[in-house]
Amino acid sequence: MTTKTSKRELHTLDELIARLTSATGLDNHVVQGLDLRALTADDGQRLLNATLCGTVLLGCELTPEQREHAHARRALVFPRLPDLPYHSYRPALYTAAELMEGYVHGKPETLHDTRDQVVYRHYDAIRKGGTIIPILDALAQRLHDHAIDDALDELLHPAGAPARQVVAIMGGHSMRRDAPAYRVVCQIARTLTRSGKLMASGGGPGAMEACMLGAYLAGHDDSALDVCLELLAPAPTYKDERWLDAAFDVCARFDMRGEGLAIPTWFYGHEPPNIFASHIAKYFSNSIREDGLLAIAKDGVLFAPGSAGTIQEVFQDACQNHYNTFGVVSPMVFLDTAYWTETKPVYPLLAELSRDREYGKLLAIVDTVDDAVEALQKR
């Protein structure tokens, strides 16, 4: 009886070259999304001499000689799917700079030309083309989302280090930048980032942007937030023409000094990316994205005021806690007592639902930054 060997993944040419230099083969390795045509003559020859037992090449660009060698050594070669504006086998999460490539400050109409919007239009045309997505497009999207899952797992579970402690903030995309709640969410995210938490959000505007801005500013003095809010004030909603320019003005004034994880989706691709996030895990599947965001937030979720989407997320998180789906019960903290007990009276129902459950002890409703932080650090 043979034992299966786990495959090690190689995501950069440097990793591949180091392996080729130190060993005679790439046995049981997955090489993901690399252009192997760019190897130097010496490194290219090492690849042609390498054993490839159990090797998988995912979406790599190959010379004819490299491809022939891979097939001769019985490596599995998965080609790039044609005519796509995105890479199905991408080896890393997105950055704001990558998604916003093509945008010109002062020319908001150039948002249409960004890589993000090119992918969105491609996706949207397929989605509106019929009830069944063509098989190659469906396959490409699922491969892409799996690659994002893989890259996200590497971020959250770094080799040789403890798993990251993740706190998520949910809330409405319509929350204005000049609203008091926006400042409060920024302050909460900033405080938690300083304490070592990795803040996560849905990656859109409103409360989600406030979460990422707070994390972005974690290494700056508290006064930086006041300056940022002044810069953002002329474009308080994502429908304002200068919404992106105002955010870029913040980035020009203050460099990034705190990590933030945004998890958006092209299902809501009409909303521009959140440029304050250091890591962007953008998906095609909205259901995978929503469930996954709540699943990784094992150190708690803060729910800022929001509408139907936020309320759906409340009960998704409650269900995960109620049945202890992922082996961890985490805090659920609601910001704004009046909103969650009167405007959208979700909290009383949830308090009753969780009364005899473990997560009922971690349920809280708060109105201040200090109370929110304390409740999220309760577990």
For residue 343, CA distances in Å to 68, 174, 184, 185, 346 come to 65, 16, 19, 19, 9
HSE on the CB side for 256, CA within 13 Å?
A: 17
Task: Name the residue with higher pLDDT: 379 or 296.
Answer: 296
Topology of the domain covering 147-376: Rossmann fold (3.40.50)
DSSP string, 64-99: HHHHHHHHHTT-EEEPPPSS-SS-TT-SS-B-HHHH
What is residue 37's predicted lDDT score, i.e. its pLDDT? 97
- Other beta carbons within 10 angstroms of residue 20's beta carbon come to 21
**Which residue is associated with the tokens 């999460």?**
93
Tell me the pLDDT tens digit for each residue of 121-170.
999 999 887 778 899 999 999 999 999 999 999 999 998 999 999 999 99
DSSP string, 161-194: SPPP-EEEEE--TT--TTSHHHHHHHHHHHHHHH
Tell me the pLDDT tens digit for each residue of 9-65.
999 999 999 999 998 899 999 999 999 999 999 999 999 999 999 999 999 999 999
Backbone phi and psi for residue 167, each to the nearest 5 degrees, phi listed first = -120, 130
Cβ burial 318-352 (10 Å sphere, 16+ → b, else e):
bebbbeeeeeebbbbbbbbeebbeeebebbeebee
- Kindly indicate the confidence band of residue 273, based on its pLDDT and cuts at 50, 70 and 90: confident
**Mean pLDDT to the nearest integer, 103-120:** 97
Instruction: Tell me the H-state helices in the chain.
Output: 13-22, 41-49, 64-72, 96-99, 115-127, 135-156, 180-194, 207-216, 223-232, 243-253, 286-296, 308-322, 337-338, 346-353, 369-376
Backbone phi and psi for residue 107, each to the nearest 5 degrees, phi listed first = -125, 75
pLDDT of 1 strictly over 80 = no
pLDDT of 3 strictly over 70 = no
User: Distance (Å, rounded) from C-alpha 53 to C-alpha 25?
Assistant: 8
Backbone phi and psi for residue 223, each to the nearest 5 degrees, phi listed first = -65, -20
Q: What percent of the chain has pLDDT over 70?
A: 98
* Global confidence as pTM: 0.93
Please list the residues that pair with 261 across neighbouring strands: 200, 279
Strand-by-strand arrangement of the 166-170 sheet = 279-280, 260-262, 198-201, 166-170, 301-303, 332-335, 363-366
The two tokens of residue 52 are 């490839």
Say if residue 109 is exposed, middle or buried (CB neighbours under 10 Å; 0-12, 13-18, 19+). exposed
Domain extents in the chain: 8-78, 147-376
Tell me the pLDDT tens digit for each residue of 220-235.
999 999 999 999 999 9
Contact 257, 219 (CB under 8 A): yes
**Which residue is associated with the tokens 């474009």?**
235
Contact 165, 198 (CB under 8 A): yes
For residue 372, CA distances in Å to 146, 228, 358 come to 34, 22, 19
Contact 41, 18 (CB under 8 A): no
The two tokens of residue 96 are 């704001």
User: Distance (Å, rounded) from C-alpha 365 to C-alpha 337?
Assistant: 6
DSSP string, 187-232: HHHHHHHHTT-EEEE-SSSTHHHHHHHHHHTTTS-THHHHHHHHHH
pLDDT of 5 strictly over 50 = no
* Residue 87 identity: H
pLDDT of 2 strictly over 70 = no
- Kindly indicate the confidence band of residue 311, based on its pLDDT and cuts at 50, 70 and 90: very high
